[in-house]
Amino acid sequence: MVDKRFSLPYAWLAATLALIGAYWFHTLPASFTAALVLCCGYNALIELYVGMSFLTPGKKKPSYEAEGWTHHDLAYGADSLHAVAFKQAGPAPLLILVHGWRSSSRSVGDRGAWFAQRGWHVLLIELPSHGASTDMKFWTAYKSMQAIKTVCSDLDAIFSKEDVTKASYYGHSIGCFIGLRLVADREFVALDHSMSNIILESPMTMYSPILNEIALKLRIPSFLMGVYRQRLIRRFNASIGQKGLFSSIDEFDLPLWGFPNLPTLCIQADPDNRLGMGHYELLTTSYADSGQSDLLTSHRLPGLTHAGAKVNEERNQLIADWLDVQS
């Protein structure tokens, strides 16, 4: 099956070869053919860069397994998100927990278990193309966010409404990026509950430095960056079926991407060996610039790593203290 990311460069390449073939059989003049070949080749190159910029999650990781936890496939359209749930015996708050890039519920399972031990219902959601969730042919954080919004609107098969007292969101890395836009959406609910707060661990808060990193790896010439970014946004809008929704890369960064107007806790790995500290700094300045610093509680934690920190007692204590204040 053809990778949908490369459908346009394939089309431009086919047009280039067709023109060369037409010239070979003397049906087109040389100067006209050369101009069209250059045009098609240029577009093929740009679209190839764009296609390669949409990263794929790669090999899937196993899902979380533990006694008392159940597995569920939650439908959104023809696809499904896999979720691992822990249900308390009676009424309790619900935690929606979303892992990071190229991980699965297993990477955040111990975090979920900590909440379960404290009396919470917990739902570990695996992003599309991660864990046991079905594959998304053209993966984007935005479409993943839409999938989570859809499945959380109907969780009656796992939890009863009368047993959920409130709902909170916990994201790690790109799970934070998705969560920041989700909780800013007033229509995002879990069993009729809007999120009461959000916890961010080593959050991704902007796409622009990720894009710059990709462009550097692809060695895209600087004189092509303008048209490359325009085509990237155009392709992104087409992939989510909303032409013109986004018009600038800045719209994929805080605060334009999504700004939660509710209590927020950020636990930041320091140093962050994957994302760097710019994402954390943008988060804190966004709250300060909006005049809502009182909503944000943030901690830089030297003992925490961006990835692999399944168990961290200092992080857990900071979360426990913050939750006590919230309640």
20: pLDDT confidence band, cut at 50, 70 and 90?
Answer: confident
Mind listing the pLDDT tens digit for each residue in 259-294? 989 999 999 999 999 999 999 999 999 999 999 999
Is residue 100 within 8 A of residue 127, CB to CB? The reply is no
Q: Which residues contact 133 (CB under 8 A, 6 or more apart)?
A: 79, 80, 81, 82, 126, 127
Least confident of 21-35, 85-99, 146-160, 289-303: 21-35
Per-residue pLDDT, 279? 98
pLDDT, position 26: 65
pLDDT for position 18: 77
Residue 130 pLDDT: 98
The percent of residues above 90 in pLDDT, for the chain, comes to: 80
The β-bridge partners of 195 are 167
pLDDT tens by residue, 196-237: 999 999 999 999 999 999 999 999 999 999 999 999 999 999
Q: Do residues 138 and 166 lie in contact, with contact meaning Cβ atoms separated by under 8 Å?
A: no
State mean pLDDT over 106-132.
Answer: 98
Q: Are 211 and 217 in contact (CB under 8 A)?
A: no
Q: Kindly list the distances between the CA atom of residue 134 and the CA atoms of 25, 127, 215, 282, in Å, as whole numbers in the listed order.
A: 47, 9, 29, 33
Q: Is 111 exposed, middle or buried (0-12, 13-18, 19+ CB in 10 A)?
A: buried
Nearest alpha-carbon partner for 174 in 253, 99, 82 = 99
- 169-203 tens-digit pLDDT: 999 999 999 999 999 998 999 999 999 999 999 99
Among candidates 244, 238, 176, which has minimal Cα distance to 207? Answer: 176
Instruction: State mean pLDDT over 73-86.
Output: 97
pTM score: 0.92
Taking CA 111 as the corner, what is the angle to CA 105 and CA 113, rounded to the nearest 5 degrees?
90
Residue located via tokens 């969560």: 179
In this model, does residue 2 exceed pLDDT 60? Answer: no
- Annotated domain spans of the chain: 1-53+219-252, 70-206+257-326
Quote the percentage of the chain above a pLDDT of 70: 96
CATH among 3.40.50.1820, 3.30.980.10, 3.90.700.10, 3.40.50.10310 for 70-206+257-326: 3.40.50.1820
User: How much is the mean pLDDT over the chain?
Assistant: 93
Taking residue 45's Cβ as centre, other Cβ atoms within 10 Å add up to 17
How far apart, in Å, are the Cα atoms of 307 and each of 45, 173, 292?
34, 9, 29
Q: Is the pLDDT of residue 3 over 80?
A: no
Q: What is the model's pLDDT at position 327?
A: 83
